[in-house]
Structure 1
Amino acid sequence: MFVTLALTLDKARMFVRGLRRRTGRPVPELVDLFRSIIDGGRDFHPIASDFLQHFMDGAGASRTMSLRWLRSFKVIKKAERKNQRRFERQLLRRAGRLGEHDSAWLHDHWDARINAFIGTELFYVSRMSLLRSQGSFVLTRDGREVRVSGTVRHRWFDPYDWDRGRWVYIPRHGFVPIAVGRDLVEADEARNFLMEARHVQTLEGVCVPGRWRGRATFTWALVRTGDR
């Protein structure tokens, strides 16, 4: 009973420390806490544990995320589709302004913000991130139809740091103050670093401009470069 009470009080103190910019705890104690989170999470959140270890030992070197792992999360696919639709609407509007046998280029980029769902492994790696999609397309009109082709280069990125929010709930450890990470960086026991991933998609489509909205058919394909 006394052991349980002590653990409960300790977790409560950690929760309160989340309200502060600094924990006020000895640095070796904070190092041990993060090392225990790394070891304890390898069985159920191996990627998150790997990136936390890189935060501690990677000297700030950037990391390239596994594209297969990253795109396995619905929020990533949703952000990707959001930017695709933006390009599709642009292309349909541009197609409506083309004259017979005219051609045109369209270059643009769109950003989609991503908020990972609490409890997913992505949440423990990157709570908030950005997908930047840069597109380049050519449109050619022949009769009523406008043929479209092009490529979109996607770049997902996020700085890995412990500087946003107040605390994060970690299984088996309770509420861990974000200030722990800040203290470790300040003590030179950890380094923030950049996470990123890149992939390319091609687009083929046909637009039939109309007086009001027109219609279009688009096909997107991922350029395979191996599992990254």
Structure 2
Amino acid sequence: MAATLGLVLAEVFGGILGRSVALLNDAVHNLSDIPALGISYLAMHWAERPADTEKTYGYHRAGTLAAYTNAFVLVLLSLWLGYEAFERLRSPVEVVESWMIWTSVAALAVNGGITLALVRGRGDLNLRSILIHNFGDALSNVAIIAGALIIHATGARWIDPLLGLAIGLLVLWSSAGILRESSHILLEGRPQKNVRGASVVSRRRPPRAQSSRARPGYASRRMRAPARLD
């Protein structure tokens, strides 16, 4: 989180001096990583806590709740970024390309390193939300660098707000899938995998041993199937 905070300050500084809305939007995007990482860190620890008298099923859904919270915040943030970029498209300003390039190079090194470190944990929904988030950050850094080079070569000022709009759309697209999947789990939706196998096993039981109500669900990374036997 310390590296992310330093990155945010660097992008704000570079965005102000370079008059780049894309860089400032990316700084706000990276700023959302700080509470996201904090929530996810606490969620991973809560998920390991045993069940108690109040939480009789344990805390295994803490990570899913954190993923939902992160994705919801990102959806709101992407809408705001898109509005700001649209306003700048209507009134473009001169930017300093050198500040955009060197600040984005430093940001790319940080975001790329975090993304590579999280690749192994992509099977976990909570970690995948952070992975996608940081991967989007790295892509936006690459886009800003390329855009700054094009602005320097052509003088097309509209490229900077266009990049800001693209960053907002990228955040919206990447977070929508996690928001949909995490809400599906929190609302006790049926798992998309292994349901057919569970139904086959149920049909093979004797009539009196069959469950009258078997509802497969999620339990952390595993599937559970609570049932009532007649």
TM more than 0.5:
no
Structure ID, larger Rg: 1
Q: TM-score, normalised by structure 2?
A: 0.25
How high is the TM-score relative to the length of structure 1?
A: 0.25
